[in-house]
Amino acid sequence: MSRSPLFIRLDSADCTLVVDCQRRTPALLYFGKRLSASTTPEMLLQLSTRQEAKCAAVVEAPVSLSPLLGEGFTGAPGLEVVNDSIAWSAGPQLSEIKQIDKATVEFSSTDNLRGITLVHRLQLDHHSNVLEASTRLTNLNDVPLQVNWCAAPTLQLPHHVNQLTSFEGRWSNEFQRHSLALFLGSFVRENRKGKTSHDTFPGLLLHTADANEQFGECYGFHLGWSGNHKMQAELLADGRRYLQMGELLLPGELTLDKGQSYQSPSLYASFSATGFTHLSANFHHFVRANLLSDAQRQKPRPVHYNTWEGIYFDHNVATLQQLADKVATLGVERFVLDDGWFKGRRGDHAGLGDWTVDATVYPDGLAPLIEHVNKLGMEFGIWLEPEMVNPDSDLYRQHPDWVLNSENNEQLRFRNQLVLDLTRVEVTDYLFTAIDDLLRQYPAIAYIKWDMNRDINHAGNFEGKPAIHQQTLAVYRLIDRLKAAHSGLEIESCSSGGARIDYGVLARTDRVWTSDSNDALDRLNIQRGCSFFFPASVMGAHVGPRNCHITGRRVSIEMRAAVALFGHMGIEMDPRELTAPEFTTLSAAIALHKTHRAFIHSAQLYRLDTDGNSINFGFVDGAKTHGLFAYNSVRETARTVPDRLRFVGLAEEKIYRLKRIWPMALREYSESVLSVIENQHFTGEALMQFGLQMPITRPQTTIIFELTEQSGSAS
């Protein structure tokens, strides 16, 4: 339909979004808790009436879906374009509104003088309360248009949202949270590493100062893009505040000829009136329903064994078969052969790019190992790093010009590898053929661990132009092409751990490798941060060696297993190091995971606020009949006894049987509450309002409780 509505309103189960269409450009008027039909947009507009301020514009430039220099906006514009004319001051005007369906609307705005069209697409998912928003820019002019910045739709925020939490980190310590109060000016995070990155995850929380896991208003924002990005939250001098995210384009990276368009990555946003746990539940629901494949949703996530921290590059068929024998008896369901299987790969200095089996290590190919693994009842998976090449490789010696580079600038040394230029069709064709040949030669390979282990420091392609935008799209196309050619193929997104975890890559893959650190104490915090946007079913979580190879810390097998149990569980160690008691414990943990796997991967996660002494969480089903709660002691309490564990997410009136299901045996200083409460019945009200006095335990102790509804209800 043509432009006619003064307002557009979208409703989901718990949220309402209102866009004001009366001015030159569409602007978000309201996004938050669902409003009743009695509350009209006209009411909101009247209530937001602002007067002329002293020494200020009579009418402020709006914080539109793309704030524009052409409108006189003095904050961060949502669009920055240049040509040899006047495109820099573009001012598209709303020309058409298309209501696609009840959940989706598109706003078209055109600047006829400059030959530019913007289309903002907003889609509010009814069940998950997640908004997906994107911007499409089209050049209608005969003159080429250089795009410096085209953000996803900019979202104005309410005044009482005055706190920001970002997600930062480093290799092996991803998803750390940092909070600060909004200040006059901009909070800006930029990522130029050519991948999602360890240190600047493209996600932000904006919330009230008193918000916690179960209380307070909060918004979550995530940019679904696996390349460079920019995030900005600004508090203007006039008191307005807004959030803006988009792809960070390098100088001269994107030019549109006449008729060409640029589509921004999607911004995913949601709101909760009852704390961060509910906000995460929205994102989890959206991921499970909209991003994951039918196969991923329907198939139980197989317990993994990954060979990396067990043998590294020391491959030997007999040894690998021995490892397979050991892990199969533990209950492992998928055996993943990590780095070291291909030609010349005896360390990280050579072989990348030569994706053929090393005949010196595997004289009969991979068939003997795959057949052995399959006979043990396990699937077979394999490690690849398609985007990279070692200078010491046949591929590089034949095609030294196939790498990204910057003319007359020396390549930075980084893990003895360079980045292939995927903007060359011949490169992606080579990679597809090499991987396709491998999968056709060994059709039992049902899983690829797809790694990407270095930053892109010199991003110039074969044309001498910066190429992160096209490189990222080429990776997406290559993954899509392989999946289309091999039905049922599953792919894990790994990038030295968590450097490529985002909704863009997850829409094409089946699992993410959360972190290279298998230290259970580190993983508690890493997985907690990741869980703000990603459900347990996609978070790879492995039981690592007795002595963590990264931190050197020794963590009990009980705690290592318990932490891995609440993700997509796996093992990554040499299982021959296990003592008989450790073997029994790990077998029991895997069996416990399988018993509750479907529940963990579908129930709602409840993170409990932490006092720093323990990191605690639970899962509860939608009917509130069943729950699992984990208490993880990481530091000795400052008091003589720990605090109570106050359960959340239960039904107050229901009666639950309380049972400890992990660990199998627990050493205690003296008799505790655990001897009193086992298999006893308690109301949800008592468990939530009064709580359970926790026993005195040493750090590195995990206790998992199961709650099961009993017949009848509390009087």
Which residues lie across from 139 on neighbouring strands?
Answer: 116
The torsion defined by the Cα of 158, 609, 130 and 164, in degrees rounded to 10, comes to 40
CB neighbour list of residue 552: distance below 8 Å, 6 or more residues apart: none
Instruction: Note if 451 is an active site residue.
Output: yes
The one catalytic residue among 111, 339, 451, 522 = 451
- Judged against a pLDDT cut of 80, whether residue 593 lies above it is answered with yes
Strand order in the sheet with 229-235: 155-157, 241-247, 229-235, 185-191
Please tell me the predicted confidence (pLDDT) of residue 715. Answer: 39
> Strand 155-157 vs strand 261-263: parallel, antiparallel, or unpaired?
unpaired
**How do residues 383-439 score in pLDDT, each as one tens digit?**
999 999 999 999 999 999 999 999 999 999 999 999 999 999 999 999 999 999 999
Of residues 711 and 236, the one with the higher pLDDT is 236
491/501 Cα distance (integer angstroms): 13
Please tell me the predicted confidence (pLDDT) of residue 713. Answer: 52
Model confidence pTM above 0.75: yes
* Neighbouring C-beta atoms of residue 426, cutoff 10 Å: 11
Closest to 421 (Cα-Cα) out of 459, 391, 393: 459
Closest to 687 (Cα-Cα) out of 654, 715, 640: 654
**How do residues 37-78 score in pLDDT, each as one tens digit?**
999 999 999 999 999 999 999 999 999 999 999 999 999 999
- Phi then psi for residue 4, to 5 deg, are -150, -40
> Strand 490-493 vs strand 511-513: parallel, antiparallel, or unpaired?
parallel
Instruction: Note if 437 is an active site residue.
Output: no
**How do residues 271-290 score in pLDDT, each as one tens digit?**
999 999 999 999 999 999 99
CB neighbour list of residue 144: distance below 8 Å, 6 or more residues apart: 83, 255, 256, 257, 258
Which of these ranges, 97-101, 312-316, 474-478, 639-643, has the smallest mean pLDDT? 639-643
Predicted confidence band of residue 234 (pLDDT cuts 50, 70, 90): very high
| Domains of the chain, earliest start first | 7-291 (2.70.98.60), 294-513 (3.20.20.70), 606-713 (2.60.40.1180)
